[in-house]
Amino acid sequence: MSDERLERELRALFDENAPVTAPASLHQHVAELARRAPAVRSRRPLLSLVAVLGTIAVVAAFVEIALLTLPRQGPIPGSPAPVPPSPTMRAAPPPSASPAPAPSPTPVPTAASSWSFRLASPGTLTPVTGADGSAYLATSPGGPKGQGKVYALDAAGHVKPGWPFAPAGVAAFGTPAVATDGTVYALGWAYGKSAAEAAGTNAATLWALDPAGRVKAGWPQPVAGSVFMGDGGGLAVRPDGGVIYVEGTTKGGSSAYRAVALDADGRPAAGWPVSLPGGPLCAVPCSIGTVGPDGVWYALIQLGRGPGAEIVALRPDGTPVAGWPVQVPGGEGFTLGGDGTIYAWGFDTNGAQPPSGVPKIVRTRFVEVDPDGRLRSGWPVTLDGPVSIPALGPDGTLYATAGGEAGQVERVVGLARDGTERAGWPYTLRSDLTAYPYSPTEGMPARATGPSVGPDGTVYLPVYRTGQLGSAAQALLAIAPSGRVAVGWPVWLPAGARFGFVGEFTIGGGGQLVQPAFGADGTIYVPVDLASTTAGVVMAVEPSGHAPSGWPLAAPAGSSGPSHVIALRLVPEEDLILTTVADFGNSAIVSRVATP
């Protein structure tokens, strides 16, 4: 079929399927909104005050909600009572499979943040913190006139003197990396440079800034060709205070990749750059290369265009570690354990390429590799079908959700250090519970969201009642290390609530749930969106399945539309750093909130 005919058919199809008028209910709703105007007007004094008080107003806008009371202690407001413990959850009375009841108003106080910082454009907003408690975040408004900036906020949330860093002509910055001496590395690049323009002219530049926001001597340094960015910014800090990144160049249709290491003074580190056999790979969340405590840099590299992949390990002097690289066929990602063990996983698609172009995952392989490059005994472990990105328990157990296709999770597996199934595992999900599917890797089919593991080894998994996503039946499941549902769990979200997603208001994200944060006492913090408020809410649940006093809390919100918490992280003082997008994706708020 020609392009013209395809477009013609498409237009005809749209014309045939577009309804002529909107339903009467919507017209009635507009009339109702118009009648509601006086009620809106009555709030104006409060909103005027909001405008005057600036950032404080973001909190104040929800004072009306905060006037309502919260139970001092107990399950999540609006949720059913915790169910008795049961290894198979059979004893737990499931919530009604009938349509969810209308959400009842759920009082949610706004978090009393120690500070909040509002940005007009979200850009790259995962803040990183330095040893002195400063938070660094980069903004990338995009567009030909966009000006990328790097902000440094002190422990009180104020922009530090000398910041933001905003060099002319830089449209975007990746997430910064902070060295132990406070040096801030930031990769920035100009907007809209074509490959031809970029060739030899350094479209990207790497800066090193001191804590006062000044460019350090020897910097900036140009980046030759494409630079690879991950969610973590694509920069790995070396033990000597320098930095490593991967750059790629294309010439005559073939690409070449190399790892570049610079010392703290901007000079090429001895023995570097090192040519790589291919481009780096990573899943979501992604970081390009990881530096271990011994200074070895690890990266997962794709070999050619096929499924071949290997993990390279380079010493600080650029030489490969004996025994490496290690082959990881179909490699998607890896993580570095505290003892230097590398955990990696990959997929086998059997070469199947359906017409849609999305390959089918027929099996998933996990490997554990000792620091000397030897495959640990009992590995690899191969599981049928797609398996989630794994989570690492405190004792080195690998946990992942596995099962059928399209996110139909059947079980949570727990693989012990010797590659065998941990005693009491796998945990089999009841058939009417489903884990969230998402696409962690572009071009790969949706798989289940993986679990998260708390500091005590409890495995958490967000689930919903099969077939009722979007209604009331969403819950957080906690599985004890024994493989049984933890006492007091699952915790069901209030009616109409849903878990928070990374990709709110943004293109992409693949439907990835926001990673929860864990307090030292095992309390889990999870972003949720409630039906009763447009503010992004953080839910806290203690290991007992109860909400700590005063929780959940609404994060500081925007001035219009719903707000969503898209990232949260616990800082050493047990405060939460929240990133909230608001105003239909046009603004973002970074705030610091104390935990109980």
Separation CA 163–CA 87 (nearest Å): 54
Q: Which stretch binds another protein (CB under 8 A): 16-24, 170-178, 388-396, 543-551?
A: 16-24
Q: How far is the CB of 121 from another protein (least distance, A)?
A: 11
Q: Is 355 in the site for another protein (CB under 8 A)?
A: yes
Q: Is 357 in the site for another protein (CB under 8 A)?
A: yes
Q: Is 195 in the site for another protein (CB under 8 A)?
A: no
- At a CB cut-off of 8 Å and minimum separation 6, what does 582 contact? 536, 557, 558, 559, 560, 561, 562, 563, 564, 588, 589
Q: What is the DSSP letter of 272?
A: -
Q: Is 102 in the site for another protein (CB under 8 A)?
A: no
Q: Is 7 in the site for another protein (CB under 8 A)?
A: yes
Shorter beta-carbon distance to another protein: residue 457 or 562: 562
Segment 112 to 151, residues that bind another protein, using CB under 8 A: 142-143
Exposed/middle/buried for residue 299 (C-beta within 10 Å: 0-12, 13-18, 19+)? buried
Q: Is 62 in the site for another protein (CB under 8 A)?
A: no
Segment 245 to 284, residues that bind another protein, using CB under 8 A: none
Q: How far is the CB of 511 from another protein (least distance, A)?
A: 5
Q: Is 46 in the site for another protein (CB under 8 A)?
A: no
Q: Which stretch binds another protein (CB under 8 A): 196-204, 305-313, 322-330, 577-585?
A: 577-585
Asked if residue 85 has a cis previous peptide bond (ω within 30° of 0), the answer is: no
Q: How many residues bind another protein (CB under 8 A)?
A: 67
Shorter beta-carbon distance to another protein: residue 194 or 275: 194
- At a CB cut-off of 8 Å and minimum separation 6, what does 453 contact? 391, 392, 393, 394, 399, 459, 460
On whether the CB atoms of residues 593 and 576 are closer than 8 A, the answer is yes
Q: Is 22 in the site for another protein (CB under 8 A)?
A: yes
Q: Which of 4, 20, 99, 168 binds another protein (CB under 8 A)?
A: 20
Q: What is the largest CA-CA distance in the chain?
A: 75
Q: Which of 27, 158, 214, 374 binds another protein (CB under 8 A)?
A: 27
Q: Which stretch binds another protein (CB under 8 A): 65-73, 195-203, 230-238, 498-506?
A: 498-506
Q: Is 562 in the site for another protein (CB under 8 A)?
A: yes
Q: How far is the CB of 584 from another protein (least distance, A)?
A: 5
Helix-strand-coil percent breakdown of the chain, rounded to 5? Answer: 10, 35, 55
Q: Which of 511, 522, 548, 550 binds another protein (CB under 8 A)?
A: 511
DSSP labels for 472-507?
S-EEEEEE-TTSSBPTT--EEPPTT-EE-BTTTTSS
Shorter beta-carbon distance to another protein: residue 99 or 304: 99
Q: How far is the CB of 481 from another protein (least distance, A)?
A: 28
Separation CA 451–CA 435 (nearest Å): 9
Q: How far is the CB of 360 from another protein (least distance, A)?
A: 12
Question: What is residue 297's three-state secondary structure?
Answer: strand
Shorter beta-carbon distance to another protein: residue 344 or 588: 588
Q: How far is the CB of 37 from another protein (least distance, A)?
A: 4
Q: Which helix (H) or strand (E) holds 193?
A: none
Q: Is 11 in the site for another protein (CB under 8 A)?
A: yes
Which segments within 432-574 are labelled E, that is strand?
433-435, 437-438, 447-448, 452-453, 459-465, 474-479, 491-492, 498-499, 517-518, 524-529, 536-541, 553-554, 564-571
Shortest CA distance to 471 belongs to which of 507, 502, 434? 434
Q: Which stretch binds another protein (CB under 8 A): 157-165, 387-395, 484-492, 558-566?
A: 558-566
Q: Which stretch binds another protein (CB under 8 A): 23-31, 126-134, 231-239, 390-398?
A: 23-31
Shortest CA distance to 423 belongs to which of 457, 380, 472? 457
Q: How far is the CB of 458 from another protein (least distance, A)?
A: 24
Q: How many other C-beta atoms are found inside a 10 Å radius of the C-beta of residue 180?
A: 10
Shortest CA distance to 321 belongs to which of 300, 298, 301, 288? 298
Secondary structure of 313-373 as H, E, C letters:
EECCCCCECCCCCEECCCEEEEEECCCCCEEEEEEECCCCCCCCCCCCCCEEEEEEECCCC
Q: How far is the CB of 226 from another protein (least distance, A)?
A: 16
Q: Is 13 in the site for another protein (CB under 8 A)?
A: yes
Q: Is the dihedral of CA 186, 190, 194, 195 positive or negative?
A: negative
Q: Is 67 in the site for another protein (CB under 8 A)?
A: no
Q: How far is the CB of 508 from another protein (least distance, A)?
A: 8
Q: Is 68 in the site for another protein (CB under 8 A)?
A: no
Q: What is the DSSP letter of 414?
A: E
Q: Is 385 in the site for another protein (CB under 8 A)?
A: no
Q: Is 36 in the site for another protein (CB under 8 A)?
A: yes
Segment 393 to 452, residues that bind another protein, using CB under 8 A: 406-408, 434, 436-438, 445-446
Shorter beta-carbon distance to another protein: residue 155 or 446: 446
Q: How far is the CB of 169 from another protein (least distance, A)?
A: 18
Q: Which helix (H) or strand (E) holds 52?
A: helix 44-53
Residue with tokens 């696409």: 439
Question: What is residue 72's three-state secondary structure?
Answer: coil
Question: What is residue 128's three-state secondary structure?
Answer: strand
Angle between helices 24-42 and 44-53 (to 10 degrees): 70
The residues of the shown chain that bind another protein, judged by CB under 8 A, are: 1, 3, 6-7, 9-23, 25-27, 29-31, 33-34, 36-38, 40-41, 44, 142-143, 355-357, 406-408, 434, 436-438, 445-446, 464, 466-467, 469-470, 498, 501, 503-505, 507, 511, 534, 559-562, 583-585
